[in-house]
Structure 1
Amino acid sequence: MHRIAVVVVSPVLSFDVSIPLMVFNSVPHYDVRICTARPGTMPTVGGPDIVVPYGLDRVDWADTVIAVGSGGEQAPPETLAALRKAADGGARIASLCTGAFVLAQADLLDGRRATTHWGLAGDLAARFTEVDVQPDRLFVEDGGIYTSAGAAAAIDLCLHLVRLDYGAAVANTAARLAVVSPVRPGGQSQYIETPLPAERGTSLAATRAWALERLDRPLSLADLAAHASMSVRTLTRRFHAETGTSPLQWLLLRRIDRARELLETTRLPMGQVAAQSGLGGADSLRKHMVNLVGLTPTAYRAGFTRLPAGT
């Protein structure tokens, strides 16, 4: 079991506390504990009180430590000391939304790239000038420290951590069980013009679902536009407005996701993995895996296979 300590700093949204519980507890690989400097009942912003049962000793126990809350306010000194000790001890450190302010107060973001909710990114940059704030990112990793933007982006970061730990198949299972979309890439923009599709039938969700069923086939912008019954130019504009990325980049990322699952769950030769993912041949598969995942297909399979040895 991978042990996770979620360090809560008041003021906090109850939603921010619930995100790591929802994502990590949806698969049987994690032991998640909620902790704070002063255990007990804690008020939340605009929501019900929560009970935080554990103290900061859980930080020493954890493999991953996630800071949530603070709203930009000063965290207790004992919390900052516990986070520094965890980082020095080799724990993976992360924050959700305004938890980035807590990591910054602990000096853990000095000289690193980081993000937070876009509405507070300017404040983070102004108060902590040693931090390279990336306001237009869903989540950022720098030197083993992970920060996310707010709300749904925090879900994306948690799913990303699951994928790092146990691979794409487990992360996609976690997403399905939590009834959320598969993890979006951290570099995707926070600024989505149409986060909720209009009710006039203009959403491209049906076209994206259609494309996902045909990842093993060549798909062009013209094919996507034809399915959506619109011009390529209109498709591109609306696709970016709904997803924050271009149609072809989205399609490439979905093909890589398919390849990762096949590498984890089958022993198909690399050429067949590439073909079933729509990535052409083994050379193309290798190129895209190295560029986007940082591992060759062989290394990825060795590290994340879900098959028993000898099968």
Structure 2
Amino acid sequence: MMKTSGKKMNMSDAVREYVKDGDHIVFGGFVTSRKPMAVAHEIIRQRKKNLILESSGGSMDGDLLIGAGCVEILLESYMANSGYTPVCRRFKKAVQENEILYDDYTLDVQPMQYHAAALGLPYIPVKNMLGSDLVYKQGISEEEYRRNPKLPNKKYIIQDNPFNPGKGDQYLLLPAAVLDVAVIHVQYASADGTCRIEGLKAVDVDIAMGATHCIVSCEQIVSPDFLERDPWNNDLPKLVPDAIVEAPYGAHPFQCANFYDYDGMFLREYDKISADDEAFARFLDEYIYGTKDHSEYLNKFSAAHLASLRVKQGFGYVPDLKRK
């Protein structure tokens, strides 16, 4: 579905309309930067299930979805709250106890799959991963790849360079990601869908272009005139997003460039909580199931605490923020 106007929606309606049980969903941002946390919370509130989840550099967004039982299959290269939790604990437990199917990629391969999707290509040749265990030790069986219609029928194909055959010049042919929904968080968006990302852009443009649907949460909905004054700074045209949701602090507890910094106190606490099943269940009840929307989630924090995370003008971060 492509709309050209009137894309502003509330969070619950956007998730209800565009995220279905069993969907193949991809999250933007990178590790602890500009993760669409408010949308992740709403997916959990609506108890979506059997999702195929991926991103290129996951963190608490995926960890929460896995811990809440929303995920059936994970395709990922990395999942950590860097500086706080070296390997996300709900993710680690789910893999070790075979609660989810999981296959591993390198951080430089998944972006290539997203780029292929954005270009409309069925696959893309790469040298990356050749010679590594990520090729020869698959986490998901070939039978499962063939069985599941939401997955490619193979993880990869190794093939000689067709322009230089028989010379040992081999390539890994990677299937393009076939994505039902991309979810990204940006700094600015207009109600008709134009989006601007400040700072690290990660894979967000490619996944938004390559997915069937795209939900964008943003710090501020601004007028088209605001974005048109500097059009070269815009990243997505209005044809791409299906839903624009205004969600201030929508990446909390992670940073959002030029708006706010990491919430180190919250991330330290989550590191402890996520290690224990009962504590994690209480966390979900308090911060997600026990809040009806993102505004109620933010009300769990004092205004002074949230204000302390706002970046210092001209720096782009909080110089004296306690990070450990």
What TM-score, normalized to structure 2? 0.28
Which of the pair has more CA radius of gyration?
1
TM-score, normalised by the number of residues in structure 1: 0.29
